[in-house]
Amino acid sequence: MTALPVTPIAYVRGGRSSPEDDNWGGERAAIELEDFLPPEALAGLDAFSHAEIIFQFHLVPDAKIETGARRPRGNPDWPMVGIFAQRGKNRPNRIGVTVCRIISVTGRRIEVEGLDAIDGTPVLDIKPVMAEFLPRGEIRQPDWSSELMKEYW
Amino acid sequence: MTALPVTPIAYVRGGRSSPEDDNWGGERAAIELEDFLPPEALAGLDAFSHAEIIFQFHLVPDAKIETGARRPRGNPDWPMVGIFAQRGKNRPNRIGVTVCRIISVTGRRIEVEGLDAIDGTPVLDIKPVMAEFLPRGEIRQPDWSSELMKEYW
């Protein structure tokens, strides 16, 4: 296994201080670029309505990482599914990817709404959402995933 | 700066051997899980139509990484925009995120269509696409990005 070192380019500031499963939709937080990056790195981001935030679930301990299959949220009503067929945080590399709404961009700071990451979360990348990068063709997903997402936002 | 080591969980096999800008839509390739992960890690993924692949643009040299602003694809007709307001590969941490169509899942292997990553690309994570994780609310984006994407797929 080759380690690929990645470096936080920003941190989440504000919002929730501990992870909870649901009701993230109205949550506001800021993303603050690290000092080694100039404010120009965010130039033009405010022309987009949404950004995709790639971050690390930094509080997940090694012992909790799932490498095989498990029931999402441990719910006995849901099937055993592989960790790469669900989006839970206890996953190899602990990477989270979430689309949130951009409220404002000022200097090195982005105000966002609907980011399911807690205060202090390291951010690995920020990408603008382009409609052309959304799924092409019809989306199909199993029932358990729609049930799980019912109260998420 | 704290390094956060991440490890490839899979590699892209097949598809293009060198990066090109456009016409990725019909490209087929496989994603093969590393041996340290059991096939169960993919259980149930075939119930989803699309997967989101988080990968690393591993061929980008340090000297090419943009940390400020540049014109997308060097096109003089487009504005200077920050690296985090575009999706080009020459970015800090070299992370790419793309949604592709799942053709089949067999053992440790996923056949996909429309993945814009070349043969040998290290994969950091695989997530199922759930409609609930798509952008909430209307999407707004600048004209240059729609022009850039015209021939992409």
- The ipTM of this complex is 0.94
Instruction: Express each pLDDT in A10-34 by its tens digit.
Output: 999 987 777 777 777 778 999 999 9
Give me the residues of A, 15-44, that contact B with CB < 8 A.
25, 34, 36-38, 40-44
Give me the residues of B, 44-73, that contact A with CB < 8 A.
44-45, 47-52, 54, 56, 58, 67-69
Q: What is the mean pLDDT of the segment spanning B93-122?
A: 95
Mean pLDDT (chain A) is: 93
| CB-CB neighbors (< 8 A) of B7 in chain A | 1-4, 92-93
Contact A97, B127 (CB under 8 A): yes
- With a cut of 80, say whether residue B1 has pLDDT above it: no
Out of B6, B79, B92, whose CB is closest to A44?
B79
Could you tell me the CA-to-CA distances from A139 to A97, B48, B127 in Å, in that order?
18, 8, 14
Q: Which domains does chain A have, with CATH numbers?
A: 10-131 (2.40.30.70)
Could you tell me the CA-to-CA distances from A83 to B89, B102, B126 in Å, in that order?
27, 16, 9
Mean pLDDT (chain B) is: 93
Contact A31, A13 (CB under 8 A): yes
Cα(B85)–Cα(B65) distance, integer angstroms: 15
Contact A69, A83 (CB under 8 A): yes
Q: What is the mean pLDDT of the segment spanning B32-37?
A: 97
| CB-CB neighbors (< 8 A) of B43 in chain A | 69, 80-82, 85
From the candidates B21, B37, B84, which should be mutated to test the interface with A, based on the most A CB atoms within 10 A? B84
Predicted model pTM: 0.94
| CB-CB neighbors (< 8 A) of A142 in chain B | 44, 47-48
Q: A15 Cβ partners below 8 Å, 6+ apart?
A: A27, A28, A29, A115, A117, A118, A119
- Element of type H or E holding A123: strand A122-128
